[in-house]
Structure 1
Amino acid sequence: MKNTIEFTKKHTLGSIVASFPKAAEVLQAYRIDFCCGGHRSLEEAAAEKNVEAEKVLASIHALAQETTLEEGTVYTDLTDAQLIDHIVNTHHAYLNQNLPVISHLANAVLRAHGDAHPELFEVFKDFHGLKADLEQHLIKEEVTLFPAILKGQDHGSVRQEVESEHEVAGELLRNLRDLTQDFTVPADGCPSYERFYGLLEELEGDIFQHVHKENNILFQRQ
């Protein structure tokens, strides 16, 4: 069965992706932030990017028509416990596995190409700033925030800290995309260079989904 979802440009980005997760693919293509900026309407976000909201909306509806209801998980249907379990076992696990791999590649690529591509020094710095922030962020969620949510305890202050950390991560990801010219490997780039930029872009997509599920679904219930 095909999706019959209908959105308007007045819908918030967070509500659109919460109802139709694959809409994230369209928003990412337009470089529209649906995670930290999920409270904004599609109309507002499109205007900031100088694109027509109707064009973005048409792309989302076209994708919905191609997507069956059975494809993917609607995360709004999960309980808090199920959603937290999904976040930890999917997104936290991804970061724990891939951050060290990307760090190793960042080091190797900087040593091999830093002389010809000095922007790699800033890429190295911003990635490792992001890595350090994320590593303590995951611990804070697993040790403090998520247990408090599941126990029904007051967690307002730590949730605000986590949301602020999401904003910092989003800014670092924007810097990385700008520094790398949308993760474009230069003509003299080696296979390690290609893998490094490919994993950075994959990391961006995973973090967007991670933050969206927390900011726009889990935290909205509290």
Structure 2
Amino acid sequence: MENLKAKTVAEMVTENIKTAHIFKKYGIDFCCGGGISLEKACEKYGADYTLLSEELINVDRPSSHASNYNNWELDFLTDHIINIHHAYVEENIPLLLQYAARVAEVHGHHYSELLEIEQLVKQVAGELSAHMKKEELILFPFIKQMTKAKAEGGELPKAPFGSVDNPIKMMETEHEDAGEALRRIAILSNNYNPPSGACNTYRAFYAKLEEFEQDLHQHVHLENNILFPKSLALEKKLRLNSK
């Protein structure tokens, strides 16, 4: 990413497709109008060159979120899931919907699988948005109440849904539904490999879909394999202590 000012937007996207998502965020045309320098693109689209260039330079910087999640307190883990994974979904769903609509409109007549992919993206977007709200408003607050009760030696808090197992089963079912939709997208997209000669928007769409799937796998792992089993065990322990 040296000499950014001299490079064209199209050259940067060709070198690293991840930069396309940054340009999209700033409203910069990287596809048909990508033949201008970064400096001129910032002038044309009213983007802050300093902020944009910093994001481009750091586009491949690895995340520092790798941790031993299994040792975290459950209230801290729920906050992490919201701040990292829920925030990721909320930030990237609008981008995926824009990509899906644009690519289906321009290329769907020739690649009919794009029409189904667009519908699946809409399905996942709607389902995940509702799913995350249920976690943030119902399930996670109760898990935090149980964590507090454990720390203070208190009793199991009352829940409107009976056992915590009930909302957990619902969340796990919804995880499976989202996972199935993304598995279908992976098949339709040839594992996120665009056809030869695909435009930059097409390539960016598939790259973002693959990234989205990878984040969801980590997201679901933290809940299904760590948060939920530990929440069930904590509820059982608090129930025994309350007797």
Name the TM-score, length of structure 1 as normaliser: 0.67
Which of these residues, 179, 183, 192, is aligned with residue 183 of structure 1? 192
What SS does the aligned partner of 1:131 have?
helix
The correspondence of residues 19-168 of structure 1 with structure 2, limited to 5 A, is: 72-152=66-146, 153=157, 154-168=163-177
Residue 76 of structure 1 and its aligned partner are, at CA, apart by 0.4
For structure 1, the 5+ residue unaligned runs are: 1-69
Q: Match for residue 33 of structure 1?
A: none
What SS does the aligned partner of 1:189 have?
coil
Which of these residues, 213, 219, 227, is aligned with residue 210 of structure 1? 219
Aligned length: 153
- Alignment RMSD: 1.4
Residue 71 of structure 1 and its aligned partner are, at CA, apart by 9.2
Give deviations 1:61-93, integer Å, cap 9, x for gaps. xxxxxxxxx993110011001111110000000
CA 1:144–1:199 in 2, change beyond 3 Å: closer, same or farther?
Answer: same
Percent identical: 38
User: Counterpart of 2:200 in structure 1: which amino acid?
Assistant: P
What SS does the aligned partner of 2:109 have?
coil
CA 1:175–1:71 in 2, change beyond 3 Å: closer, same or farther?
Answer: closer
